[in-house]
Amino acid sequence: MHAIAFLIFEDTNIEVMARIPGLLDMLTEVAVHKDEKLQIRQWSGAAMWNLACCPSNKVILASHLSCLRAILFLLKTTCSVTIGYAVSIVKQLATEDDNKLIIVDYNNGSLLRAIVNIATKDDVGLPNLEITHKAVHALYYLISNQTAVDACKHSPLSDKNTGLMVTLTSLVIDSPDTEVREAALSGLTTISIALSDGTCQFETLLQCLVKLLNSGRVEPTTMALAAFRKISAEDQNHFGMVNCLGLLETIGGFILHNAEIGHSERMENAMALDVLLSLTSNGICCAVVADTHIVLRALEQILRIPKGSKIQKYAYKIVSNLKNIPDAEARLLDPKDSLMENSQNQSNKISFMKNLTCWRGGSFQFIY
């Protein structure tokens, strides 16, 4: 084993040795043999990692099922060094497009779930989040337009496991490592696009996006709003969205906060209002929006900003949709709901009522 490992670590031998009959079988057998010494297992992992670093070897290793079996075995050991080699092998193999789906689907997703599990841990023994860093980057390479749906199906949220999406969301919000946050956000972006039709783990996706919108960070917030816009473009997704716990409240709170601090014209505010506009195009869903107090407060604030604001066009269209819901207009104007608590006088109420009824003949009339 010593001699083989020495030869593999010679750059001139890497490509040739991966093609020697029986060599990969020998390396993988050593890795999974129960009676083998830990150091020998580590050398086996290191040798496979070095072979995987060679571009011409990547497909060979990933298509060799005994290699994937050995990698999975090494990922489940208790030795941080061995785990580190195994994660590095997956990361290297996943950089090859032809390998992504093979790895994600291997043994019904067992290999993927092992990587996700490692990405959630910070006690594997190596400093500076090194193993987490490798695991997240392995996931970054594994998740693509072709693998995202399978990956989410193989690693769902459950009572025992956080699953792929929740793990990536937690890393985006909580990781102190910038590269980890960026890699996790990239993976979530790909997943949100692939799952935007609402047919796979829709509720989990929406809850993760709500958490990102609440994160207070620019990149996750923008990504979440872009995802909500894409999802809301499909009518069949509206009912699930308005019934997602905290979704409307978070969007309404986001718009209201920006309006109150003088940032109403932010691009992200337009994105949030566009989501509400889509959701209010459906009668049943519109009624749920109309019953969300903070959304109504946000609309009022938008309608109060200076005349001619482009952002108000969204608000006027939304209000026009809300007017089709019985008593919605009364809810918008009822001081008991605190919507008018800062302007209780009658003249302001009349002015606001005019704003709510400004949609005439297919055009906007800005009345103040």
pLDDT, tens digit, 9 for 90 and up, residues 18-27 = 888 888 888 8
Supply the pLDDT for residue 5: 62
Q: Please state, in angstroms and rounded to a whole number, the distance separating the CA atoms of residues 271 and 278.
A: 11
Structure tokens at 133: 């860093």
Q: Which is more confident, 300 or 344?
A: 300
Confidence of residue 365 (pLDDT cuts 50, 70, 90): very low
Residue 130 burial by Cβ neighbours in a 10 Å radius (0-12, 13-18, 19+): middle
Confidence of residue 328 (pLDDT cuts 50, 70, 90): low
Confidence of residue 338 (pLDDT cuts 50, 70, 90): very low
One-letter identity of residue 64: H
- pLDDT above 90 for 138: yes
Confidence of residue 351 (pLDDT cuts 50, 70, 90): very low
Backbone torsions φ then ψ of 242, nearest 5 degrees: -70, -20
Mean pLDDT, the chain, integer: 85
- pLDDT above 70 for 36: no
| pTM for this predicted structure | 0.85
Supply the pLDDT for residue 127: 44
CA 236 to chain centre: 21
Q: Please state, in angstroms and rounded to a whole number, the distance separating the CA atoms of residues 76 and 115.
A: 10
